[in-house]
Amino acid sequence: MEANIRLSEEVVNKTRSFEKMKSEAERCLAQGEKLCKEKTEFEDASYAKFLSVLNAKKAKLRALRDKEDSGKAVEEEESTDKTESFDDSVRSDNEQSEEVASKKATSSKAHGRKRAARS
């Protein structure tokens, strides 16, 4: 009889322990879902703040680039007045190459004459 009573008490204790663990598991599951929801909300808020900062930085960079580009345009207008035009530089390059070619031609002709004279 004593063994039956002891086993009954053990079953009751195990049942209570099981119910206690079951309720704790449900509470942990609910807390996990709550934390997951809070994390998602936090991430959404953080991303929204980040996007606003990022877009502000992009706008500032664009403004600085535009300012720099307009400054360069003014500098280019001023610098083009001081430099020779592209056509002039091409002509001078062509003239130089023609001079080099004519020098080579005259020097090669001289060598040709010498060879001809030797033969």
DSSP 6-31: HHHHHHHHHHHHHHHHHHHHHHHHHH
pLDDT at 118 over 60: no
pLDDT at 117 over 90: no
pLDDT at 1: 81
Say which residue, 55 or 3, is predicted with more confidence.
55
Determine the average pLDDT of the residues in 45-67: 95
pLDDT at 109 over 80: no
Average pLDDT, the chain: 80
Whether this model's pTM surpasses 0.75: no
Alpha carbons 39 and 45: distance in angstroms, whole number: 10
